[in-house]
């Protein structure tokens, strides 16, 4: 298993894995299914354009992409934007190696604080982030102002 940093122009290589993660979020979300249903990889990339830097690390097994970790930095705040490992490769330290690679890049890029946002419905990921010393600091509630309330 190799962990590689891919060039930003090759980011499209992770699209099938990202779409699998987005589908996972769609299936597990209680309140935001419409968001994940409409969300596209191209939209996600557009969101990253406002960042100072972006890096994508991939896990390859015999030329097959089995996982990725996308990280970005803006004004000395690093973020693990997205991480996914195919289920068959989980519990084999792939996620750990990916996040460590991303954190090393973030720190070398000047990040003094690292964050990760976990989508509602994906609370099962809390343990993974806790093992990497990420602690829950905020709980953010969201309301669509266009929705009628009763």
pLDDT band at 18 (very low <50, low <70, confident <90, very high): very high
Angle in degrees, CA 137, 29, 141, rounded to 5: 40
Domain residue spans in the chain? 2-131
The pLDDT > 90 percentage for the chain reads 81
**Predicted pLDDT at 94:** 97
Q: pTM of whole model > 0.85?
A: yes
Residue 136 to residue 126: CA distance in whole angstroms: 8
The number of CA neighbours under 13 Å toward the Cβ of 61 is 10
pLDDT digits 0-9 by tens, 100-147: 999 999 999 999 999 999 999 999 999 999 999 999 998 888 887 766
Domain 2-131 bears CATH identifier 3.40.630.30: yes
């Amino acid at each position: 298993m190799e962990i590689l940093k891919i060039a930003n122009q090759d980011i499209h290589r992770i699209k099938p894995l990202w779409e699998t993660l987005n589908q996972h979020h769609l299936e597990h979300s209680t309140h935001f299914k419409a968001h994940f249903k409409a969300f596209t990889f191209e939209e996600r990339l557009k969101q990253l354009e406002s960042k100072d830097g972006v890096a994508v690390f991939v896990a390859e097994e015999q030329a097959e992409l089995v996982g990725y970790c996308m990280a970005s930095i803006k004004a000395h705040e690093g973020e693990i934007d997205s991480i996914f490992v195919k289920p068959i490769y989980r519990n084999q330290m792939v996620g750990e190696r990916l996040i460590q690679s991303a954190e090393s890049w973030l720190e070398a890029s000047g990040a003094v604080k690292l964050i990760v946002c976990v989508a509602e419905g994906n609370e099962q990921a809390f343990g993974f982030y806790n093992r990497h010393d990420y602690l829950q600091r905020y709980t953010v509630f969201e309301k669509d102002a266009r929705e009628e309330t009763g």
